[in-house]
Structure 1
Amino acid sequence: MKFNIDQQMLTLSYISYTGYCLAGSDKHNARKIAPKIVEDLALELPTANKWRLVWGPAVSELFLSIFDDNMAYIVQHIEKPNCFAVVFRGTNPVSLSNWIDEDFFVFRKDPWMLGNKRIPGAKISHGTNLAMRKVKKLEAPSGVPGAGTTMLQFLRIQSETQNKPLEVYVTGHSLGGTLSATYGLFLKQCSGNQDIPVKERWDPTGKAKITVKAFAGATAGNRAFAEYSDKLLDKKTMNRFGNSLDLVPNAWSNETVKTWPDIFKPVAKPNWFFDLFIFQAKLASLLTDYTQPQASTPLLPGTLSEPCKTYFQQTIYQHVVAYPILLGLEGVLDPVKYFPILKDVLPCFHDPKGVEVSA
């Protein structure tokens, strides 16, 4: 059975959640996660005999966090040695600081930079900017592939040693989807650019091909940022995948946020907690002009899960469970393997008679 590149990238994105609940030091956790990623790459059908781990993983945590907040790794295509995939983990489900500091810190926006220069008018949320600063500094620790290098340093070495220009995919799910879109843009604007600090140069010839495969990512920046991104990454190279019933890729645009109260009807409606959350989201969308890159990209048509009777259950289902189904990986990529908590919070995993209905 053959699997297309979108299916492979989604699988790599889900594999990135391996070990999210570890509570040790960054280096210790990275060393424990690395062999599990190697195992998952071999066991998952879309990645088996196609990709191998060559950098990382590297993990980091925010101040006073118990669990890791960010993780990334890089794989190399086995048959095409000049082809790599940079993979970002999404929001850590058990890290409160990850949710507060990187996902929901959207009322303040920071300038988007090209080296030491600001791109006029282009801004991203402070939370995304914080996450970007962290992942740029991630360094593979001793005991894992690529030890002692950052992702950019590793890619620079590859660009100098491979016989062909690099083909680099940048991918991730949820927060990883947001980061893949922003880090992919960062790679593109630095490729072949000599007017930036030496530490940000990685592709001297500017011939590397960069393709973003962003799944379920929230909007990173404002309209000027999206317009700048669209100039560098067209629809062929900026591929966004969003479920029409997933709240996250619908954040934080005013046009989409206003649909949230009724998005899961007739199966579920928000309670008082989600009413407060929706109010915050509407306020953020009214006070800002957040816009997705390649905003005209159509969302994938989602379906409601009939067994999931609460707004919370539908939110989790649409953000996590739906994507393997929508990408044609139902029965192949098991979300419960990477999110075991789904068995406890979603009735569709313990109700054999549960069925889905069209939205």
Structure 2
Amino acid sequence: MLLSLIPINVRLIFALSMLSNIPAATTGNSEQIVKYAKPKIQQALASAPSVDSVQLSGWQLVWGPAVIAKPGSKQVDKELVASNAMSIFKNGNTYVIGIQATNSNSTYDWLVEDGNVRATVPWNVLSPATKAPATAVVSKGTSIGLNTLLDSLQDDSSHLSAVQYLQGQKLNQQSGAQVIVTGHSLGGALSPSLALYLKDNPAAWNAGNTAVYCLSTAGPTPGNGDFATYYNAQLQNNTQRIWNDLDVVPRAWVQSLLTQVQSNVLAKGGLYSAAGASIVGDSVYCSPYKKGAYCGSLATFNPLGTPLDVDALIEGAKKWSGDKYMHICGNGLSFHGVQNGPYIDVIVGAKGYPKGIGLFMQQMAQQHVIVYNFYFNIMPIHEYVRTMVEKDPKSVVNRNFNNKQSEDASAITSFPELLGRMSQYAWAW
């Protein structure tokens, strides 16, 4: 089913999506971040291990990474960080556009792009040639992010935008050309938005008969029901939206899905409160991909209630966002991540679990980041890139910013901040 929607191995597309996040691993102005990230992406393409049919060699970085840098969070003492980044990879006449996820050290990402959902912008304002009704709207944050991708990000060498680069490829003269837009988290909301923009405006990039596809993972909702209806009419058959049903982020901003995270819902204690046992990589978790090292391993599913502080933050988010948001592609393809699997027991458990909201944030972080690498069975690639980043003295990880667990989690004042601070825990793995 997956391969019928996207003609390229979706595991490979996800691996390229992960490479587009390398700019988030350092600080500096856009030029400095590109100088750091570009050779690492190229090294990963050339040297990362192959996993089954997932082989990055043969792919080239042909545009980017393009970066815009804004002041980061207090974790990096207000240094500049990559608030948005995007890369284009090419193999033959297939182009993959990878959009960076939420940068864990960018409060701009948390508040301006992820959480800016109270106000909306009509899609026909963002996409000039669209046939969408005026009632089809996206969040203000999505509109800001899309405009940044279209207008502010330029390749450091050619100084071309992504659309200008595609235009220069004269895809209308290529037979069987295809463009696949992908991203995780924030990128999971922006990737369908950019894919739809390209679908709506073929003349802007000499598209001709070029097919447009989208792989969106762990993404919150870009827009409202009318936007989702229009998107589905244009691209649902070419889109795979994949999400872990134990991941809080892709439950935003649909009220019924957010409610399930809260206490006194589901098994009374919230999303992680069910008792019992779980198989790491059971038939849902592993299928349809080849089983990895953890598939079939028994892991305790430790009940974890939703803290009351988190309940309140989610309740505030529901009131802030209202009931207008709807996911594209219906329910998409959800899988059931594994709670407290061996990987978090070994890596985090060895350090000692934090208490209360801190433990909840650890679980959120696991379900939002590393579980997807297991699901897509690309952990060797993930570990290769992680090691490459950790060894670099210019990386945020190497500079010992793994102190997120010691911060006062009770100081979190909004749901977007909860998600942003949660993503900081990913560095601690």
Alignment equivalent of 2:183, drawn from 159, 172, 192 = 172
Q: Which amino acid aligns with 2:135?
A: G
**CA pair 32-140 structure 1, distance change in 2 beyond 3 A:** farther
Q: Which amino acid aligns with 1:317?
A: Q
Checking the alignment, whether the CA contact within 8 Å between 2:85 and 2:153 is kept in structure 1 is no
TM-score with structure 1 setting the length: 0.84
Pair 1:232 & 2:234 matched? yes
Q: Which residue of 2 aligns with 1:322?
A: 371
Query: Of the two structures, which has the highest relative contact order with CA contacts closer than 8 Å and spacing of 6 or more?
Result: 2
Quick one: distance in 1 between partners of 2:94 and 2:106? 32
Deviates more, 1:22-31 or 1:165-174: 22-31
Checking the alignment, whether the CA contact within 8 Å between 1:55 and 1:74 is kept in structure 2 is yes
SS of corresponding position for 2:216: strand
Structure 1 vs Structure 2 CA RMSD: 2.6
Write out per-residue CA displacement over residues 52-78 of structure 1, whole angstroms, 9 at most, x where no aligned residue: 10001110134787212000010101x
Checking the alignment, whether the CA contact within 8 Å between 1:7 and 1:329 is kept in structure 2 is yes
Pair 1:20 & 2:24 matched? yes
* Percent of aligned positions that are identical: 25
> Structure 2 regions of 5+ residues with no counterpart?
1-7, 73-77, 263-269, 275-302, 354-358, 391-396, 406-424
Quick one: distance in 2 between partners of 1:134 and 1:19? 16
Checking the alignment, whether the CA contact within 8 Å between 1:211 and 1:238 is kept in structure 2 is yes
CA drift at 1:115: 0.7
SS of corresponding position for 1:242: strand
CA drift at 1:90: 0.4
Quick one: distance in 2 between partners of 1:171 and 1:303? 24
> Structure 1 regions of 5+ residues with no counterpart?
193-200, 351-359
**CA pair 142-103 structure 1, distance change in 2 beyond 3 A:** closer
TM-score with structure 2 setting the length: 0.71
Q: Which residue of 2 aligns with 1:291?
A: 326
SS of corresponding position for 1:299: strand
Q: Which amino acid aligns with 2:326?
A: T
Quick one: distance in 2 between partners of 1:323 and 1:247? 13
Checking the alignment, whether the CA contact within 8 Å between 1:136 and 1:150 is kept in structure 2 is yes
Q: Which residue of 2 aligns with 1:202?
A: 205
Q: Which amino acid aligns with 1:176?
A: G
Checking the alignment, whether the CA contact within 8 Å between 2:98 and 2:182 is kept in structure 1 is yes
CA drift at 1:21: 4.0
Quick one: distance in 1 between partners of 2:10 and 2:152? 26
| Residue-pair matches, total | 329
Checking the alignment, whether the CA contact within 8 Å between 1:190 and 1:203 is kept in structure 2 is no
Quick one: distance in 2 between partners of 1:280 and 1:242? 23
Q: Which amino acid aligns with 1:242?
A: W
**CA pair 343-274 structure 1, distance change in 2 beyond 3 A:** same
Quick one: distance in 2 between partners of 1:157 and 1:223? 35
Quick one: distance in 2 between partners of 1:182 and 1:150? 16
CA drift at 1:288: 3.0
Q: Which residue of 2 aligns with 1:214?
A: 216
Checking the alignment, whether the CA contact within 8 Å between 1:219 and 1:249 is kept in structure 2 is yes
Quick one: distance in 2 between partners of 1:61 and 1:221? 25
Between Structure 1 and Structure 2, the one with more helix by share is 2
SS of corresponding position for 2:369: helix
Write out per-residue CA displacement over residues 163-204 of structure 1, whole angstroms, 9 at most, x where no aligned residue: 324210101111011111110011111125xxxxxxxx1135
Q: Which residue of 2 aligns with 1:254?
A: 255
